[in-house]
Structure 1
């Protein structure tokens, strides 16, 4: 019997595969409940709708705890039942920063995708991850562009794309499905390490907001980000038009007089585009 989550996932995933005409996908898993649920949903989808789809699972082990080897064995036992290819990449260097660890993971995933000709990487991020990322960005003092960067579909470059099929589901929904299907969830002790800022957000700040401010904080933030994304796209499109109109036909230069007459938001975006194109440099706020 299909649950509402399975039905919704199957519909979305089928549209995604058809739109991009995919025959193979690379699925990045972490070992937590979201990843285990994603494995189950994709295997169920393949059995029902697309048995020819080539699926490869990849796990990147930072070796942060002594139990990392046990977690790998747990994942091997799960993937073994699917009879799919399973890649394990162990990182020997010590990475204490969450940001650097994420960048390292994505670099590994992109390199593997390029080498083995995968065009799409699938991850198990949920709407709750989107809420956590939003709060992290706010605390760091990001821009509108940074706030709206965590989307269901993202382009790394012209050939490699990232897709998050669970981004419309809350972590509580995923947990419900895992319990209903009796999925073997690994309890990761690093999720309670409060030197990682995201864990403190997840286990303390967000539950506090749920209880005392707004129970539907995930939905409210998601609604805000949808509107913010539309506004950000409007500013970006106009900045691109201004860049194309004001750039010099021969020299590496912009027409100062044309740009100076525009709103400060367009001036900033146009300069960001200019420096990114000529130097591959992302300008900071300062």
Structure 2
């Protein structure tokens, strides 16, 4: 009973968030960007279980960045198996991130992000989809506000992660899981007995976002337990005014 309550609560939150922002409609064809991590696995389960009633056409897309050796390849195999278990086709792309970063003179993270969205757009066009769903959640949004603040930003940077934005060529990125906290995603996995891959680099605090997640936010929460909510509220307020 509790597991069903957890699942339905998450679905209702995502549905309300998506409806309020008109992220997608019944019958839409949607590309799901699936890394294999907890967030994207929950997103896949949500869409797959909504698909029949809402007549959604779903396509899984996985980008293998090749940055973690055997771990990256294990993620790819996991996503292929997962997509097959849901009866969905799966497009996989190999991204040569290190070479691209060297060529452009940018950092590895920036190169990976740029190439990831380029490949997602390419796949969406090949499948006739106008929507690409990524699995960013509410905690990602709070972390992004702090990350941009530390880097130095104007008000636009404090708007955080938008629920939807143009990707190019009439294709949009949508982020329905912004309705959920990280802990709610973990609760969903446990409630449904779903397994996900874990990225070992998420524990490396040499990356500023990881340090914010593991050190800064917990420290701020000691003074203000609702700091994550406040950061998201600021982001949403500025996003609406942008």
What's 1:159 paired with? 170
The alignment's TM-score, normalised by the length of structure 1, stands at: 0.73
The residue aligned with 1:39 is 44
Q: Structure 1 residue 71: deviation in Å? A: 1.8
Could you tell me whether the CA contact under 8 Å between 1:10 and 1:45 is conserved in 2?
no
- Mapping for residues 125-204 of structure 1, pairs under 5 Å: 125-148=136-159, 150-157=161-168, 159-204=170-215
CA contact (8 A) 2:139 2:182 kept: yes
Q: For residue 239 of structure 2, what is the aligned residue in structure 1? A: 229
Match of 2:104 in 1: none
Are 1:219 and 2:226 matched, yes or no? no
Distance 1:119 1:230 in 2: 23
Q: Alignment RMSD, CA only?
A: 2.0
1:206 pairs, out of 194, 217, 226, with 217
Give the CA deviation at 1:45: 0.9
Of 73, 76, 93, the residue aligned with 1:72 is 76
Please identify the structure whose Cα radius of gyration is greater.
1
Unmatched 5+ residue regions in structure 1? 234-286
Alignment check: 8 A CA contact 2:14 2:179 kept = no
Within 2, Cα distance between the matches of 1:44 and 1:139? 39
Residue 60 (str. 1) matches residue 63 (str. 2): yes
Q: TM-score, normalised by structure 2?
A: 0.85
In the alignment, which residue of structure 2 is the partner of 1:81? 85
- Which of 29, 32, 35 is residue 30 of structure 1 equivalent to? 35
Contact 2:95 2:115 in 1 (8 A): no
2:42 match: secondary structure:
helix
Which stretch of structure 1 is more off in the superposition, 22-31 or 112-121? 112-121
| CA gap 1:229/1:13 in 2 versus in 1, 3 angstroms | closer
- Other structure's SS at 1:101 match: helix
For residues 89 and 208 of structure 1, the distance between their equivalents in structure 2, rounded to whole angstroms, comes to 39
**Partner Cα distance (1:222, 1:54) in 2:** 31
Identify the match of residue 122 of structure 1 among 133, 137, 143.
133
User: Shift in Å at residue 22 of structure 1?
Assistant: 4.7
